[in-house]
């Protein structure tokens, strides 16, 4: 079923390298030359962050069989961590001309809550982008995998976790911006966040991160470790009976994928200029799962294709058919699940399989006929 990696490795590798080069160098150059508009480049930057999120979902779902509905939470947490730094960088440029972020002034806060202080430092914020999602995933994963919660129960529990966290972030008392979240960012690393140059740099950062994440996951999934991962997906009990501690493997991949999602979120926030709790609702996780399903799970290229394609479709449909886009999205989603279990990148394989099936059926029919005629002649 799975075509062996070696047979077709060469051509796709070159293709992927070309695509990567185009995303990292080509697009920004075209933008600098004025061929690709700033708006377009920014949209693509957003899509690439989504693609990072999609890869993190796929690492869990496609490769390990864990359907996590909390990836949007990790994505948003990464975004929030970086957003805190960006909020502090606004300084006195806010509407209230105060050192405090606007929403705190609005809440009547006189001084910065203690846990905000370290976020003045960029390296600290960047570290937290990895750390917080990682630690949360570590604790939750430890609890969940230790008691061997798996399959749909894992999905439902992560859904509950995400729901609870979103409820928490909606509260003003958390001092994380409540309903409105963080917005109105001004500068990043001393550069004006709204200038085309900064946006281009952010795009390039996203593209490079995506390529790095892709390469890392490629390495991870083709290693011996990746083999166990897929073994867990296909039959966890056999892995367990073979003497592997499936829980530890799962925990590791869960933490890694949470971190990847967090990084995606951190790159996403400065580009869209806002982060609020609606980003971490379960629906967002499900959307990311959709990208993976549409693109093709169990591959690393599929999620990227899915994330870009679905979001493209979404932004097209929301402007062209505002009343029907949910129906288009939902409907196409159902169709993909029913008819394209391997997603878009799996279409060629599916066609080959179909042809092979027909071939073998024809062969079997011919054989039957031969046997029948032989029986008759006897």
Partner 1 sequence: MAGLFVPLSLAAQEPPAKSPREIVAEAAVLMDADEQRVLVESLATANADEVVSLLAKWREGEIYQWQDDEGNSVAVLLDGEPDGDEKFALVTLAAGKPVLAADGTAVRMTKDELYMADTDSKLRRVMKGVTDRLALSSPDVPKRLRAVQDTGLEQDLAKLPLLEQLTVVEKNGKVKQALAEATAMLKLRSEDMAVRETAVKELGAMGSIASQGAIKTVRDEADQGGLVSLVAACDQAQKEIDSHISFVNSAGTVFRGISKGSILLIAAIGLAITFGLMGVINMAHGELIVVGAYTTYMVQNLFAKWNLNGMAWDMYFLVAIPASFLTAALVGLILERGIIRFLYKRPLESLLATWGVSMVMQQLFRLTFGANNVQVESPAFLSGNWTVNDIVFGWNRVFVIGFAVLIIFLTWATLNKTSLGLLIRAVMQNRSMAACMGIRTERVNMMTFAFGSGLAGLAGAFLSQIGNVGPNLGQDYIVDSFMTVVVGGVGNIFGTVISALGIGMADQSLQQILGDPVTGKILVLGAIILFLQWKPSGLFATRSRSLD
Burial grade of 178 (CB within 10 A; 0-12, 13-18, 19 or more): middle
Which residue lies nearer to partner 1 by CB, 27 or 336? 336
Q: Is 146 in the site for partner 1 (CB under 8 A)?
A: yes
Q: For the packed helices 224-234 and 246-272, what is the interaxial angle rounded to 10 degrees?
A: 100
Min dist CB 332 to partner 1, Å, is 8
Among 35, 167, 191, 354, binds partner 1 (CB under 8 A): 167
Dist. CA 370–CA 347, nearest whole Å: 34
To partner 1, the closest distance from the beta carbon of 344 in angstroms equals 15
Interface with partner 1, residue 337, by CB under 8 A: yes
Shortest Cβ 217–partner 1 spacing (Å) = 20
Under 8 Å between Cβ of 262 and 50? no
CB of 114 to partner 1, least distance (A): 21
Residue 290 binds to partner 1 (criterion: CB under 8 A): yes
Q: Is 1 in the site for partner 1 (CB under 8 A)?
A: no
Interface residue with partner 1 among 1, 7, 33, 152 (CB under 8 A) is: 152
Place of tokens 């993976």: 292
What's the CA gap between 170 and 187, in Å, rounded?
A: 25
Residue 256 dihedral angles phi and psi, to the nearest 5° = -60, -45
Residues numbered 303 to 332 that lie near partner 1 (CB under 8 A) are: 323-324, 326-327, 329-332
Strand ranges (DSSP E) for the chain?
Answer: 182-183, 187-188, 191-192, 274-275
Q: Is 245 left (phi over 0), alpha (psi -120 to 50) or beta?
A: beta
What tokens were used for 139? 């604790």
Stretch that binds partner 1, among 15-23, 25-33, 52-60, 147-155 (CB under 8 A): 147-155
Please tell me the distance from the alpha carbon of residue 15 to that of residue 24, in angstroms, as a whole number: 14
Three-state SS at 219: helix
- DSSP designation for 98: S
Q: Which is nearer to partner 1, 124 or 325 (CB)?
A: 325
Mask of contacts with partner 1, 33-72, x by CB under 8 A?
----------------------------x-----x-----
- Note whether 84 binds partner 1 by CB under 8 A: no
Q: What's the closest the beta carbon of residue 107 comes to partner 1, in angstroms? A: 16
Minimum Å gap between C-beta 55 and partner 1 is 18
Q: Does 354 bind partner 1 (CB under 8 A)?
A: no
Of residues 333, 340, 349, 350, which one binds partner 1 by CB under 8 A? 333
Nearer to partner 1, 338 or 374 (CB): 338
Spatial distance between the Cα atoms of 311 and 27, rounded to a whole number of angstroms: 18
Q: Which is nearer to partner 1, 323 or 378 (CB)?
A: 323
DSSP-assigned beta bridge partners for residue 182: 275
CB 82, CB 273: distance < 8 Å: no
149 contacts partner 1 (rule: CB under 8 A): yes
* CB burial string 191-205: b at 16+ within 10 A, e below: eebeeeebbbbbbbb
288 binds partner 1 (CB under 8 A): no
Both tokens of 189, joined, read 């690393």
Using CB under 8 A as the binding rule, whether residue 179 contacts partner 1 is answered as no
CA distance 123 to 82: 10
Among the listed ranges 18-26, 94-102, 152-160, 256-264, the one in contact with partner 1 (CB under 8 A) is 152-160
Q: Is 156 in the site for partner 1 (CB under 8 A)?
A: yes
Gyration radius from the chain CA atoms? 24
Closest separation in Å from C-beta 163 to partner 1: 5
| Nearest-approach distance from CB 65 to partner 1, in angstroms | 8
As a whole number of angstroms, the distance between CA 263 and CA 55 comes to 12
Number of residues that bind partner 1 (CB under 8 A): 44
DSSP sequence for 202-219: HHHHHHHHHHHHHHHHHH
Question: Which residues of the shown chain bind partner 1 in the complex (CB under 8 A)?
Answer: 61, 67, 140, 143, 146-153, 155-157, 159-161, 163-164, 167-168, 170-171, 236-237, 282, 286, 289-290, 293, 323-324, 326-327, 329-334, 337-338, 341
């Amino acid at each position: 079923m799975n075509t062996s990696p070696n047979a077709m490795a060469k051509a796709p590798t070159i293709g992927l390298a070309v695509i990567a080069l185009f995303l990292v160098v080509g697009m920004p150059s075209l933008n600098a030359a004025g061929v690709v508009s700033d708006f377009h480049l920014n949209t693509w930057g957003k899509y690439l962050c989504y693609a990072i999120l999609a890869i993190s979902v796929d690492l869990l779902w496609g490769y390990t069989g864990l359907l996590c509905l909390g990836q949007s939470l990790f994505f948003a947490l990464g975004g929030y961590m970086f957003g805190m730094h960006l909020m502090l960088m606004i300084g006195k440029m806010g509407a209230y001309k105060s050192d405090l972020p606007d929403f705190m002034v609005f809440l009547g806060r006189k001084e910065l809550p203690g846990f905000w202080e370290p976020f003045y430092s960029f390296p600290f914020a960047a570290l937290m982008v990895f750390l917080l999602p990682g630690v949360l995933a570590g604790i939750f994963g430890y609890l969940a995998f230790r008691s061997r919660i798996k399959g749909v129960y894992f999905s439902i529990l992560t859904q509950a976790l995400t729901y609870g966290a979103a409820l928490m972030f909606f509260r003003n008392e958390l001092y994380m911006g409540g309903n409105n979240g963080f917005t109105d960012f001004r500068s990043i690393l001393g550069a004006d966040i709204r200038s085309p140059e900064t946006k281009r740099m952010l795009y390039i950062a996203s593209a490079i991160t995506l390529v790095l994440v892709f390469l890392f996951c490629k390495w991870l999934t083709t290693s011996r470790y990746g083999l166990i991962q897929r073994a867990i997906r296909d039959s966890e009990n056999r892995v367990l009976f073979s003497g592997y501690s499936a829980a530890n493997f799962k925990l590791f991949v869960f933490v890694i994928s949470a971190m990847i999602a967090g990084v995606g979120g951190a790159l996403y926030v400065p580009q869209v200029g806002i982060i609020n709790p609606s980003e971490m609702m379960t629906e967002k996780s499900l959307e990311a799962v959709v990208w993976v399903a549409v693109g093709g799970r169990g591959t690393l290229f599929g999620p990227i294709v899915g994330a870009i394609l679905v979001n493209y479709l979404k932004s097209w449909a929301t402007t062209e058919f505002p009343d029907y886009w949910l129906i288009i999205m939902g409907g196409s989603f159902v169709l993909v699940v029913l008819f394209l279990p391997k997603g878009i990148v799996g279409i060629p394989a599916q066609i080959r399989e179909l042809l092979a099936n027909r071939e073998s059926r024809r062969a079997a029919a011919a054989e039957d006929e031969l046997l029948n005629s032989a029986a008759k002649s006897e």
